[in-house]
Structures are given as C-alpha cells and as structure tokens.
Amino acid sequence: MQLTSFLLLTGALGAVAHPSAHAHRKFHRRDDPSGLPHVKAVHHHPIPEPKPSPSPSPSPAASEPDLSAASKGHSNPAPATPSGGDGPFVQFCPLGGGASANSKAKRVTYDQIMYVGELGTGNGCPWNSNMILIGANQIDKYKYVQEYKNVANQKYQVRCANKMGADGKLTGQFEVPGQNQLVFDLQPGESKYVAAMGNTQLACAFAPGTVPKTTHGQFAGNWLEADFENSSNGGWSGADCSSLVAQAYGMHVPGCRVCEPASNRECSTILEGGIGTNAYTIGMEALDGIGLNLPPGKVFLKVEVGYA
C-alpha cells in the first residue's frame, strides 16, 4: 500500500485525527455522504517511515529557549516564576500566521482526517511555530494554554507537534529530517506551559527519560491531543489522552490526565499500562466523541504527566 494510504489509515490519532470528535453532539452525527463510519486511527498495521521533505525547511528548534529571546519574534521563552499574569506577551511567528488553504475541507470522512488547520508556516515562519513555551506569568496573555506538570518521581520528556507535518502529510509525530517538534524536559514536580494559536490540532507525546519511537519512527509514549478553536466545527475545542500508538506496538504506556478546570467536564485519564477513562486506548481506534468537548472560548488544559 502506498504511504499516503497507510498514513490516512494509521497516521492520525484521537482528537487530532478527527476534528469533529471534540465538537458539540450535533457534530457527531454519522451521516456522511460517503456512507462510511468516522475513521480515527488504526495502528495495528506497520507504518512506513515518511520520506524527508525539503520544503518548508524549519529552523532548528530550541529545546529549552532562553526567556531573554522573548522579544525576538518566534523565539520560545522559558517558563518563569508565576507573578500574577503580568509577564510580557510573546508573539508567535508572527501572531496570526496563515492557516492552510485546506482548512475549509468538506466534512466527510477523508477530509475530516486530512483537515489542516494552523501549522505556523504563514509569512515564511518555520513549521510548528504556532506553539511556543511561555512563562507561568504569561498565561493570561494567551487564549489557548496547556500546563504540563510532572507528577511522577522521574524526569519526563515532552514532544509537541502539529498533526500535519511540514510535508503536508500526517507525519507531525514522526522523526522526519528537517521537521522539528517543540521539545522540553520536566523534572519531578516541575510545570511548563505551552501556548497555541487558534485552529491548531496538536499532539504532545511524553515518556520517562526520552520519548521512545516505534520501529517506523513515530513517537510513542502517551499523547495529549488537543484541538483548539477548530474552524470546521464552529470554533469548538477539545482534548484527550491517547495511548493508541504505544499499545499498538506493545510499548510502555505512562500515565496521563488532562482536565479543563473551568469547564467542569470529566477529565480524560489513562493509568500507567493503558487503562483509561474518557480517553483513547487500544480497541477504541474507530470511536469519536471521547475526551473533553469544549465550547468556543478560552481554554486552559492541565496535563498531569506520569499520572498514577
């Protein structure tokens, strides 16, 4: 089978695979003109390793950006000590970088999977510029923020990336030369914050030490999946924990929990080993509507890395 076909079947996961999974219930109707069921990820087939794409060519990503670079466009500031939300606003590269022309795809199964939102590549910016590390004192300056807190007793690595890769395929969480995820470490008890632009569909893979890869170069561990202000779903957002990749390859599944405190909705949780509640675990590849479904507006996700 060709790479495109494999990636269509296997490259997308949970929230980011199917944007409508996080919309209001009215968006969950299974009445596609195609007559086919909504497709999420199917990871029990081997995934061919994507080929490098020469364009666009992102600049090297800084794993732990220096806060002193905050005023230099798309540089990512390092977390700071909370100080009442009075920190500086740091622009993305630049704020409002263009979304793909595919963002108005028809709402049928294929297009839902291949939906392309914000990739951060507008105005010559490198792929993945639509998400940046910010300081705790900058949270109030952004509409879509995730807090990653290490609640385990060992160091974790986190790798955040768009669903769609720089090559225009579902390769955002693959190791592809010239394609750089936002990478940072969390010591036990430490929190760091990621801000994202609207219409972003992302996944952040995390694991103790270093995020492992499958035999085909896809990052495993556990995934926090988020869909912010999806323009094909009326601006709704959503999030979930997903261990589909790791479980499909028989790999270790660390714990994950994501909540949106202001929404009063049930958290999405996966315990170490792969037992989940309101989350995507093995056998749930074809389901939708799992996780947090959030109406239009500001979103603050609290992600507990290594949850037990």
- In single-letter form, the type of residue at position 137 comes to N
φ, ψ of residue 46 to 5 degrees: the values are -60, 145
Q: How far apart are CA 223 and CA 203, in angstroms?
A: 6
Nearest to 116 by CA among 272, 12, 1, 223: 12
pLDDT of residue 69: 34
Q: Report the b/e string of 128-159 with b at 16+ CB within 10 A.
A: bbbbbbbbbbbbebbebbbbbbbbbeeebbbb
Mean of pLDDT values over 136-142? 95
Share of the chain above pLDDT 90, in %: 53
Complete edge-to-edge strand list for the sheet that includes strand 182-186: 182-186, 156-162, 200-208, 222-230, 236-242, 292-294
Does residue 1 surpass a pLDDT of 90? no
pLDDT of residue 114: 54
Q: What tens digit of pLDDT does each residue of 44-58 get? A: 333 445 554 444 444
Q: Average pLDDT, whole number, for the chain? A: 74
Q: What tens digit of pLDDT does each residue of 92-129 get? A: 875 443 333 333 333 334 455 555 556 666 667 899 99
- In single-letter form, the type of residue at position 174 comes to F
pTM of the model as a whole: 0.72
Task: Assess contact for 202 and 160: CB atoms under 8 A.
Answer: yes
Nearest to 78 by CA among 94, 93, 91, 62: 62
Q: What tens digit of pLDDT does each residue of 193-250 get? A: 999 999 999 999 999 999 999 999 999 999 999 999 998 889 999 999 999 999 999 9
Q: What tens digit of pLDDT does each residue of 34-92 get? A: 332 223 333 333 344 555 444 444 444 444 544 333 333 333 333 333 334 566 667 78
Task: Assess contact for 164 and 108: CB atoms under 8 A.
Answer: no
pLDDT of residue 231: 87
DSSP assignment, residue 174? Answer: B
Q: What tens digit of pLDDT does each residue of 151-183 get? A: 999 999 999 999 999 888 899 999 998 889 999
Q: How far apart are CA 192 and CA 198, in angstroms?
A: 20
Q: How far is CA 177 from CA 52, 86, 174, 182, in A?
A: 5, 38, 9, 14
Q: How far apart are CA 38 and CA 153, in angstroms?
A: 39
